[in-house]
Amino acid sequence: MRLHDLKPRPGAKHRRKRLGQGNSSGRGKTSGRGHKGHHARSGRGFRPGFEGGQMPLIRRLPKRGFSNARHATVYLPVNVGSLAAFPEGSDIDAAKLRAAGLANGRADGIKILGQGELTVKLTVRADAFSASAKAKIEAAGGVCEVTPSGKQSSDTDHG
């Protein structure tokens, strides 16, 4: 079998329905769009949640309560096991973790978690540490330093 022998399975490919090819084609004149109205126009479409002019569900339901989700602190997780890639005695901070590709994306800070093993002595600066991560880093002879970044420090300053 060669590349030129490959073919899609029978029934996997359909011919596109050619609209507007004359009245006898069965899809001529209005080309299946009917007469006038929203569906007959080009660029038609409904926004998500549109119910044909009926009061939408989101507006019919009562709005109550409060959610702290928008005020939550979001951390980028970095496991202790991945810190073993750094050389012995190095100082690790958020910039080095991002440069190494261990913490990617937007978040309020970086949290070191306890998954994996650590045998090298490191000084780690992060926004938060899990208890198991702190224990593993200190057991290897390293140091954990908490360096809170923007969101946490601004939350505590209420004047």
Which comes out higher in pLDDT, residue 70 or 99? 99
For 75-149, the fitting CATH number among 3.40.190.10, 3.100.10.10, 3.30.1490.100, 3.10.20.600 is 3.100.10.10
pLDDT at 153 over 60: no
104: exposed, middle or buried (Cβ count in 10 Å: 0-12, 13-18, 19+): exposed
Task: Report how far residue 112's alpha carbon sits from residue 106's, in angstroms, rounded to the nearest whole number.
Answer: 16
Label residue 2 by pLDDT band (50, 70, 90). Answer: very high
pLDDT number for residue 44: 73
Whether the per-residue pLDDT at 157 is higher than 80: the answer is no
At residue 159, the pLDDT reads 46
Q: How far apart are CA 42 and CA 28, in angstroms?
A: 16
Q: What residue ranges do the domains of the chain occupy?
A: 75-149
Segment 10-56, tens digit of pLDDT: 999 999 889 999 998 889 999 989 999 888 888 878 888 899 899 99
Helix then strand then coil, % of the chain, to nearest 5: 25, 15, 60
Structure confidence at residue 76 (pLDDT): 94
- In this predicted structure, what is the pLDDT of residue 132? 95
Amino acid at 123: T
Q: pLDDT confidence of 151, banded at 50, 70, 90?
A: low
Q: What is the pTM of this model?
A: 0.56
Res. 108: pLDDT tops 50: yes
Query: What are the Cα distances from residue 134, in Å, to 67, 119, 127, 152?
Result: 31, 13, 12, 20
pLDDT of 63 > 60? The answer is yes
Structural tokens at position 97: 């973790």
Residues contacting residue 131 through CB under 8 Å, at least 6 positions apart: 114
**For the segment 120-131, what is each residue's pLDDT rounded down to a tens digit?**
999 999 999 999
